[in-house]
Structure 1
C-alpha cells in the first residue's frame, strides 16, 4: 500500500497537504512548518533526539522522502498507531488526529481542511485511515 502526501500550502506556522492512498485522494493533512534541514542527522541515527540548529522542536515538519510505515503501540495513545520509520532528525513520528499544527511535534495530522489553518473531522478520518492500513505489511508514505 502506497501513501503519497503532497504538501500544497506552506505557511510560516503550518503546512497543509493532500494524502493519497494508492493514487486516490483520501484526506487533507496538517503538519508543522517545512524547514531546510541537513540531509542526515547523526543524533537520530544513534536513537537520540536531534540537536541540529535548523530544527525547531515541535515546530518543524519532517523532511520530504519515502518512509516505511508499521502499526506500532503508542504509550501516549494507548493503542496501535501508524509509525514512520527512519525519519532523519525525528523520533516517534506518527500519523494521528488533531486539528492544528500545535497538536503535532512533527507528526502528520489527518482530517478535512475546510477552515484555514485547521483540519476538522480528524478522529473519524484517522479511524478510516487506520482501518485501511490494518492488516497490510508493506506500507510506505512518500512525502513531496
Structure 2
C-alpha cells in the first residue's frame, strides 16, 4: 500500500495537503510549517522533510495505543499519523481530517479511524506500507 501526501497550502501557522492511497483521495492532512532546508528546525513546529518513509503500526507511549509510525525521518523521532485539528495538536506529526479550512482539518477522528483500519489491514495482509511526501 502506498500513501502519497501532496502538500498544497502553506501558511505561517501550518501546512495542509491531500493524502491519497494508491492514487485515490483519502483525506486532508495538517502539519507544522515547512521550513527551507537551510533554516533551523524549530522543535515541535517544523514539518518533516519531503521524502518516502516506511509506515508501521507500533504502540505509542504518549497516546497509550497502537498507531501508525513513520520510520527513518531525518532529524525527527516518533512521527505518527493521528487525529487533531490545528498545528497546536502536533509536534511534527501528520493530523488527518475529512474537511479543511485555513490552518485547520475537521472530522479528524473519523478520518483517522478510517485510515488506521486501511493501514492495519494492509500490514495484517503482509503488505509493506509507505508514504511519499512532496
TM class by shorter chain equals over 0.9
> Stretches of 4+ moved more than 6 A in 1?
none
1:44-74 CA-to-partner distances (Å, cap 9, x unmatched) read xxxxxxxxx7100111000000000000000
Q: Is the 8 A contact 2:84 2:95 kept in 1?
A: yes
User: Which SS does the other structure have where 2:88 is aligned?
Assistant: helix
Corresponding position of 1:60:
46
Contact 2:97 2:105 in 1 (8 A): yes
Q: Would you say the 8 A contact 1:29–1:113 is kept in 2?
A: no
Other-structure match for 1:16 = 16
Offset of residue 113 of structure 1: 3.3
Paired residue total: 130
Name 1:103's counterpart in structure 2: 89
1:141 aligned to which of 116, 119, 131? 131
Query: Could you give the per-residue CA deviations for residues 85-139 of structure 1, whole angstroms, max 9, x where no partner exists?
Result: 0101101000000000110100000003343210110011100000001132400
Hey, what's the Cα distance between the residues in 1 that align with 2:41 and 2:101?
A: 27
TM-score, scaled to structure 2? 0.93
CA positional deviation for 1:13: 1.3
- What is the TM-score of this pair, normalised by structure 1? 0.86
